Chain A
Amino acid sequence: MLSKKRMYWVVAIVIAVATILSGCAGAKGGGKVLRVNLGTEPPTLDPALATDTTSVQCDEVLFLGLTDFDDKTVEVIPELATEWSVSPDGLVWTFKMRKDVEWVHYDPVKKKVEKKGKVTAHDIVYGVRRTVDPATASDYAYVDYIIKNAEAINTGKNTDLNSLGVRAVDDYTVEFTLEQPAGYFPGIAGMWVNRPQPRQPIEQFGDKWTEPGNIWTNGPYMLETWEHESKMVFVKNPYYVNAKNVDIDRVEAVMVVEESTAFAMYENGELDVVGVPSTEMERVKSDPVLSKELYIAPYLCTYYYGFNVSKPPMDNVKLRLALSYAIDRQKLVDTVLKGGQRPAKTFACPGIFGSPADDPNFVGVSYDPAKAKQLLAESGYTGTPEITLMFNTSEGHQRIAEFIQRGWKETLGIDVKLANQEWKVYLQTVNTDAPQIYRLGWCADYPDENNWVLENFHPTKGSNNPKWSPDDPAAQRFMKAVEDAAAASDPKERARLYFEAEKILVEEQAIIAPIYYYTRVVVTKPYVQRTYAPLGGEHWDKWKITK
């Protein structure tokens, strides 16, 4: 055993070393630093596999797509592509690409950036094929089912990857052939799943190709650090085509799950931008400093409860309708959420092409306790089998669930059990065997109803978490409406068909109960000039720090 005196020395040395080390960590490599909270560990950085907002946020700054969305107008704007054209029959889309984009590899140990050659049409073809390839097991491959043969290849009916409707005409021209005309295709072409992917590191490192030191990127930022479940650091890409206009040199992203903790960090000056938990809203609004930093931005997402219609008693349409009509959405927004959200009467939110959300003639669902009671009486449900409502573990979701649980108890007299699972496990549960009632949010990948009703609830072509049977007559009407709408070219006709689909989905069958249209409630330090992306990830490269 050490003598007491020696112990003191050891302790003193340990403290000294710790201080020095933490001092090292504190010394930032100069330049302008933005500190953000990702909120959770991104499940992947692989653009072919990303499905959630956190992964998409990272991919947005690491990889360029053919197209992007304008933060203000939500219009498709060129990114890798310079121009595009479509054949008269609407089936063949040709994108011309810019020739000055480089793949870069960043060595985080030596802090050295290395050019790895130009980004070409072949990288895009490789990326799209890799996404659709069933071996990749991309959960988002169905977005590409609009591309010729993609569905057959992804489901294993066609094993010839070369038959996929994408080809490189020359090094800087890529051509897509579609199954049917789709005016919204330029939006899909720029999505992360269709971004150029670097063949060499993927083949060399396999699953580990997205780790720092392995990954090649072409976006405004490069990945410097990825301490899993803890933090990520992105550094500016000096060879980025628009590098001279990128103001922020370094983005340090922590992964703090608890909103309240992240907000405390913001107040302590450890973060530059953060979401505001509903608990703090009243204080933020009344605080002279914080209220000036507060901004409520629209966000193309809808919060909803889905019903697994294959599990009793959720196979009972009247019961589903009763539950949906018994949710007091306005009160939820006013007293629990407090972030200027709007009660949802449809699945797709306002700002999506084909969404009836802003149409006053579209009825949709709203709070109607009398109707809910009547529907419940007609449904014949008496409390068995019992109903479980599941959500992913989070204080916000729990509050909403408790509010709605109480509302159902008070209005309908139904006891609903609440359960929760951690996000990754929860996603797995919902995708494979969704609980009777499950919570999800859907955020636009491109602003068209196709991305909403067809990709989520089409019984065979969408993810169909509610397990809606394609044999159900209502489902068949729904399928016909969304398929016809996808193929139609006249915008009026498409909108009419989508209105019909929404009506079947929420008003007639209540496959889901839409709850509210998101807003983003954030506070940003006054020295950060920023943009607000209504869909996809934020464009940190367009932000500026004036300090």
Chain B
Amino acid sequence: MTRQEAAARRLLGREQEAEREQKVTNLWADALRRMARNRAAIVGLVIIIALVIMAIFADKIAPYDYRAGDSADNYMVPLWLTRILPGNMAAYAQIGNKYLFGADYLGRDLLSRVIYGTRVSLPVGFVGAMTALIIGLVYGSISGYYGGKVDDIMMRIVDIVYAFPTMLLIILLMAFFKTSFGGANVPGTAAYTFNRINHVVDRFLGLEGGGMLFIFMGIGITAWMGIARLARGQILSLKEKEFILASRMIGASDIRIITRHILPNIIGPILVTVTLSIPGYISTEVFLSFIGLGVDPPTPSWGAMISEGARAIRSYPNQVLLPALMLAITMFAFNFLGDGLRDALDPRMRGTS
């Protein structure tokens, strides 16, 4: 056997192997397998699952209620924290082991508030992602698939909304929602209806008086545009492909073509984009709460806690630490997961690991 022969056989063998593999695995199983090998992504996934559990069972896990406390305990800090943090907190702060991470300015347990804070941050992330996915995908698919005038009009609308600075738009919307809907007391008006829906949403999340619906609306209104553009772009390139033409030729309806042939082919990159944008929605809420436009007090939001903690940082550096740490961990988790998904779903990565 010559060298060339051996090389050819090896090559052939590999090809056959690859062929075999493709037969038994589909895109998703393949992706899952690659995901499982990506340690960072798995860690991210585990953290996210833990956070979800924390949010669902917050009232069972948290040692105290997020509202309760005695202002006589304000800024109480456990001894172990004063030892590891800079400054001489022990000289003036109330020392007490009642709370594991200390209490805030009204004597509320910081740890409990951070735990309840997941009920703000996670829903914001997921609702942001869901609105982006649902509105963005439908909008983008219609625009891309039908093309022509429909596409022109729909995309110009996106361009117009895009032209607004996103943060400014959200701030304006939040200010508007909060002033005109938040205090609406007259039954029968649209504002009152929004206010009632908001109550239902708050109660469902276990955060009464939080004003969560308005945050969802503020973030959702701007979230879908990126996905819409992405979906449209993907579809534009797909719809001229032979297999689409073929199914059209045999008389498949538009809905069937979009749902059965186009969506499965573009769902990968879209899922990755959506996952990677979740930290963005969470940080938007944090920012809104930081500037006082987020959830209404006393609902604990990490953003509001960081904002309060940052103000107290010179005297009580422990205040900002825990919420900031939690925020950072959550961001990392979603980013790791998103990165992992991208690597796993990217067709060019197929068979590389």
Contacts and interface: CB of A to CB of B under 8 A. Distances in A.
A398 B291 CA distance: 13
B185 A260 contact: no
A294 B242 CA distance: 81
Contact of A399 (B105, B179, B185, B296): B105
B91 A279 contact: no
12 contacts: A258-B311, A263-B314, A277-B311, A279-B316, A282-B315, A331-B72, A335-B71, A398-B292, A405-B297, A417-B296, A418-B296, A419-B183
B193 interface: no
Contacts of A420: 292
- Give me the 8 closest cross-chain CB pairs, A-B, nearest first: A286-B92, A335-B71, A260-B311, A282-B92, A283-B315, A388-B183, A279-B312, A385-B185
A334 B315 CA distance: 18
A336 B182 contact: no
A286 B292 CA distance: 31
B311 A279 contact: yes
A336 B74 contact: yes
Interface string A441-460: 00000000000000000000
A417 B92 contact: no
A267 interface: yes
A419 B178 contact: yes
Interface in A506-525: none
B179 A421 contact: yes
Contacts of B69: 406
A419 B298 CA distance: 11
Contact of B182 (A259, A278, A332, A419): A419
Nearest to B298: A402
A280 B315 contact: yes
B297 A402 contact: yes
B308 interface: yes
Given A331-B72, A415-B209, A267 B314 contact: yes
A286 B296 contact: no
Interface in A479-518: none
Interface residues of B, number: 30
A258 B292 CA distance: 13
Contacts of B182: 388, 417, 419
Nearest to B105: A399
Interface of A: 258-260, 263-264, 267, 277-280, 282-283, 285-287, 331-332, 334-336, 385-386, 388, 393, 395, 398-399, 401-403, 405-406, 409, 415, 417-421, 435
A113 to B, nearest CB: 41
A402 B69 CA distance: 12
Given A258-B311, A418-B296, A282 B93 contact: yes
Given A286-B92, A395-B308, A403-B71, A279 B185 contact: no
Contacts, number: 82
Contacts of A285: 92
A405 B67 CA distance: 10
A393 B314 contact: no
B138 interface: no
B107 interface: yes
A238 to B, nearest CB: 40
Contacts of A395: 308, 311
B312 A260 contact: yes
B106 interface: yes
Interface in B92-138: 92-93, 105-107
B106 A406 contact: yes
Nearest to B195: A386
Nearest to B87: A283
B106 A399 contact: yes
B71 A435 contact: no
A144 to B, nearest CB: 34
B208 A415 contact: yes
B75 interface: yes
Contacts of A334: 72
Interface in B290-309: 292, 296-298, 308
B179 A283 contact: no
Given A331-B72, A335-B74, A398-B297, A409 B311 contact: no
Contacts of B312: 260, 279
A386 B71 CA distance: 25
Among B182, B208, B298, B310, the one with the most A-chain Cβ atoms within 10 Å of its Cβ is B298
B70 to A, nearest CB: 8
A267 B91 CA distance: 18
A211 B92 CA distance: 46
A339 to B, nearest CB: 14
Contacts of A421: 179
A283 B92 contact: yes
Contact of A409 (B67, B105, B183, B308): B67
Interface string B242-286: 000000000000000000000000000000000000000000000
A335 B72 contact: yes
Nearest to B307: A395
Interface string B137-168: 00000000000000000000000000000000
Interface in B168-212: 178-179, 182-183, 185, 208-209
B105 A279 contact: yes
Nearest to A286: B92
A437 B311 CA distance: 27
Interface string B48-75: 0000000000000000000101011011
Interface centre among A263, A393, A417 (most CB of B within 10 A): A417
Nearest to A264: B314
Contacts of A331: 71-72
B208 A336 contact: no
A436 B296 CA distance: 17
Nearest to B71: A335
Given A258-B311, A279-B315, A336-B71, 17 more contacts: A259-B311, A260-B311, A263-B314, A267-B314, A277-B311, A279-B75, A280-B315, A282-B93, A282-B315, A286-B91, A336-B74, A395-B311, A399-B105, A406-B67, A415-B208, A417-B183, A419-B178
Contacts of A335: 71-72, 74, 107
A260 B72 CA distance: 22
Contacts of A264: 314
